[in-house]
Amino acid sequence: MSTRRRLLALVAALLIVATAVVWRLSHQNQTAADPSVASSSSGAPILSQSAGPELPASSARPAKAKTAPSSGKSTGTSAQCSTSVSFVPTKFTIMRLNISVNVVPVNEQSSAGTMAPPVDQPWEVAWIDTTNKPGSTSPGVIDLTAHTYHAGGAIGNSLYQTNPLKTGDLIVLSDGSGHSACYRYTHLVKFAAASYDPNSNVFYDPQGKPEVRLMICWDYNWSTTVWQSRVVFYASPVTS
């Protein structure tokens, strides 16, 4: 079995355990998190492909809105796109939405196999450190993940439902040392998690153009405590 297939099997197994633990915690704290699995996605039947969000499936209860951490004055310009080298990101900013949150690097060791930010960090984004770096012009996608909470209040809830991304929104990844790279949101793909194909390139794509792909979970099933769908947001590099 290849290293990648062993890793994907580990991710799937740990997701089941993590989901059960999180579900129990949610009943204690009245807010549960999704350990968003950053798996390479979909040769699966795609439920939708569009530039903007859709209404959640009927199995998902409405999310409670929460104000995102603010980055200050919002602009839609690419003036911050200053780097010509690749770098490790530490900040994820969406200009129009006044969102600026920390980025944490993760791999199967540091994230206990979930490939996601810590479960108690609704406003963090994870960068999968085996994928491409921001600012790179070499082939390979920059893969990010973030949490959706079934009670609302996480960045996934905001970007897909309560304060959704719009075509052309500027996403800036930076490192706090003067390096930054800009990406324009173009579209999203939503697919059924049960039909996920680990050999497809809807999320992971080491030969794809160096764009940003951010995955979240959606369609929480209250009877099974399982997230039934995945949503991947795509953003293309700003080159000038």
Six-digit token string for 227: 């997230």
Q: What region does 140 belong to: left with phi over 0, alpha with psi -120 to 50, or beta?
A: left
Of the chain, the end-to-end C-alpha distance in Å amounts to 43
Q: How far apart are CA 110 and CA 8, in angstroms?
A: 15
Inform me whether the pLDDT recorded for 44 exceeds 60.
Answer: no
Pairing outcome for strands 124-128 and 212-221: unpaired
- If you classify domain 3-237 with CATH, what class do you get? mainly beta
Compute how many other C-beta atoms are within 10 angstroms of the C-beta atom of residue 50.
11
User: Which pTM value belongs to this model?
Assistant: 0.72
In tens, the pLDDT along 145-197 reads: 999 998 899 999 999 999 999 999 999 999 988 899 999 999 999 999 998 88
In tens, the pLDDT along 74-122 reads: 345 555 676 678 999 999 999 899 999 999 999 866 656 678 888 899 9
Q: Residue 108's pLDDT is what? A: 67
- The closest of 136, 135, 164 to 231, measured between CA atoms, is 164
More confident position, 58 or 68 = 68
Q: Residue 75's pLDDT is what? A: 42
Could you state, in order of their start, the residue ranges of all structural domains in the chain?
3-237
DSSP lists the bridge partners of residue 92 as: 101, 173
Q: Residue 83's pLDDT is what? A: 65
